[in-house]
Amino acid sequence: MPDPAAQTTELADVMANCLSLDNPRSLFLFAGAGSGKTRAVVEAMKKFREKHGQSFRLSGRNVGVITYTNAACDEIKHRTYYDPIFSISTIHSFAWELIRSYHDDIREWLDHNLTTQISDLEEKQRKGRAGKASADRVVQIEKKKARLARLDTIKYFAYNPNGDNIGKNSLNHTEVICISTAFLADKLLMQRILIRKYPILLVDEVQDTQKDLIDAFLAVQQEHSKEFCLALFGDEMQRIYSDGKTGIAKAIPDDWAKPAITINHRCPKRIVRLINTIRAEADGQAQEPREDASEGFVRLFLVQDGDETNKTAVESEIARRMAEVTSDNQWFGENREVKTLTLEHHMAARRGGFSDFFEPLYQVAKFKTGLLDGTLSGIPFFAQKVLPLVTALQSADRFAVARIVKKSPLVSADTLKLSKSPMDEIHKADDTVRSLFTLWDDDNDPSLIAVLKAIAAIGLLAIPDVFAPVISRPDSAEDESDADDPAESAHDPSIDAWDKALTAPFSQLKSYVQYISDESPFGTHQGIKGLEYPRVMVILDDNEARGFMFSYDKLFGAKEPTSTDQRNLADGKETAVDRTRRLFYVTCSRTKNSLAIVAYTVEKEKVTTHLKNAGWFEDDEIIDI
């Protein structure tokens, strides 16, 4: 077994040699779950700084480092002592930094994009008929035409990667990624700018970084391999987002360096053996536990699935049994501290009490990634403005209220400048806040749409454009002319989804925000990137998941692959078993101490036989409930 410290040092040396200005060599670092990848990357960055730091400072160049989360950014900045030669950011921040100075080019791209969108909407309007969908399109067309008309009046564009971009000159998250990708693909000058400013670019979690932008980076590297070093870090088995780069290992050119980290620093020995077995049929990559790792615990509980099954009671009983097996009282009772991971987010939403808000939005494919990371247009408005305001009001925190309200249009610099009595405007803002808070009188839990309409009516906060069609809709839930035509009524699912989600009580928003911030006891594979927990309960339930993209019954041998699965396998495409295997690997590999796997199935015997024959579990690790 390799020594962990020695392997980290060796990897850092290999990467540092690749990150050479004289003879750059691009690389792909395979790093499985719990591999301590960040440690090795930071050590390589430090070695690079020792050799090239001074020349980079004098020439004004940077090593670009793209991470997946703000927390990862902060960690790497701290470990590299905030050295300015390392430009460390999320993908959205990096993309914006690349294009932010080219306002004329941005304007030209927006002009073409908006014109195309308006044309498409008008064509659908001509073919459609009067009704709710038609009224929604009218609002969308008006908004887009208004934005198109004011493009020439905008001197500079703005963007906040961590907020809701609702200013007249603001770009949204999707636009920033699309524009930067288009510029890199189509403009030779932008490629030269990238190489000049960032001759070395490191991209972490590459398998989940927006695939079109990764393809653009790869194309630039191929065209300029002698002067641009691209270093990609990740693991295909841990890909969790649908817009990430698939088949990343196959896309790597043969002349790249391909180091690997084989030690798992997180999981106990039993869990490492399990996750190695899980991925054995996928790519054969295997890890080794630390020599000082504990043995750990894993149990598979098979539960007969059915309408009468009380899943809350079953999962509570399983937690009690795990407390006995592990002699760990934090599995059950007052001291319980267990992370419950589900296959699908709506399963976590139901257990976490925010399904009325979450499910309508999650059904819209283009919303999924933004809904899960909190960047979906409209979410930051509620999560970063409305929720903090209401929380401050409920806790009588006047200073927090004042901090939020000072950004209100009611007390903007222009408003106060035009007012004959600025103090009256400030008092008016205070009155509007109090009037908003009356929605919670008598322990009421108002709907999100009621809160949104109240804010819009009193002008307390600027309302994002995404909510304009919803606010303008009449209160009646159904439009007869649309109801007669299913194609017409379903024309714009994004507006319908917001319309339905906003009927949820405000309290569900708070539960949702806790969920995406990993402050909830429930989660899924998609919300736990890089995270770890002492006690993990994984819920496997195909019926409740309601999905056709995944199937634990197929992975566990209870169901045969479909003809589509067989066709995809023959064509070299991803199958339901492949996707499910990835999810199972990611969830199980979060475990630091003990793991309970709860499988709801109607084929207990088939599952037991298959998993024993496959060597996934020992006899005493499979428990029939």
Contact 153, 187 (CB under 8 A): no
Residues paired with 599 in a beta bridge: 302, 540
- Which of the two residues, 574 and 317, has the higher pLDDT score? 317
State the pLDDT at residue 523.
Answer: 67
Mean pLDDT of the region 215-221: 96
The DSSP result for 35-70, as a single string, is --HHHHHHHHHHHHHHHHHHHHHHHT--EEEEESSH
Q: pLDDT-based confidence at 528, cuts 50/70/90?
A: low
Using DSSP, how many helices (H) and how many strands (E) does the chain show? 31, 14
Q: What is the pLDDT of residue 336?
A: 92
Q: At residue 569, does pLDDT exceed 90?
A: no
Residue range(s) of every CATH 3.40.50.300 domain in the chain: 4-99+176-264, 269-354+515-624
Angstrom CA distances, 149 to 105, 111, 114, 115, 433, stand at 16, 9, 10, 11, 34
| b/e code 162-187 from CB counts within 10 Å (16+ = b) | eebbbeeebbbbbbbbbbbbbbbeee
Report CA torsion sign: 477, 480, 484, 488.
negative
pLDDT band for position 584 (cuts 50, 70, 90): very high
What is the end-to-end Cα distance of the chain in Å, rounded? 38
- Residue 343 pLDDT > 80: no
Lowest mean pLDDT among 143-152, 210-219, 403-412: 403-412
Instruction: Grade residue 483 by pLDDT with cuts at 50, 70 and 90.
Output: very low
Q: Which helix (H) or strand (E) holds 230?
A: strand 229-234
Percent of the chain at pLDDT > 70 equals: 95
Cα–Cα distance measured from residue 14 to residue 43, given in angstroms and rounded to the nearest whole number: 11
Percent pLDDT > 90 in the chain is 60
Q: What is the mean pLDDT of the chain?
A: 89
Mean pLDDT along residues 232-245: 86
With the CA atoms of 394, 399, 405 and 407 taken in that order, what torsion angle do they form, in degrees rounded to the nearest 10? -140
Report the CATH superfamily, name and number, of domain 4-99+176-264.
P-loop containing nucleotide triphosphate hydrolases (3.40.50.300)
Cβ-in-10-Å burial (0-12, 13-18, 19+) of 105 comes to middle
- Of 11-25, 115-129, 512-526, give the lowest mean pLDDT range: 512-526
Distances (CA, A) of 401 to 4, 362, 412, 472: 50, 31, 16, 28
Q: Residue 429, exposed/middle/buried by CB under 10 A (0-12, 13-18, 19+)?
A: buried
**What is the total residue count of the chain?**
625
> What pLDDT score was predicted for residue 615?
93
145-166 mean pLDDT: 90
Q: Residue 491 pLDDT more than 60?
A: no
Q: State how far the alpha carbon of 39 is from the alpha carbons of 83, 555, 605, in Å.
A: 17, 34, 44
CATH of range 269-354+515-624; options 3.40.50.2300, 3.40.50.150, 3.40.50.1820, 3.40.50.300 = 3.40.50.300
How much is the pLDDT for 477? 45
Alpha-carbon 594 to chain mean position:
26
**Residue 563 clears pLDDT 60, i.e. is over it:** yes
Mean pLDDT of 354-382: 90
Q: Decide: helix, strand or coil at residue 229.
A: strand
In this prediction, residues 464-478 reach a mean pLDDT of: 77
For 158-172, what is each residue's pLDDT tens digit? 998 887 677 889 998
Query: Which phi and psi (to 5°) does residue 483 adopt?
Result: -60, -30
* Structure tokens belonging to residue 534: 């002492």
d(CA 568, CA 577): 11
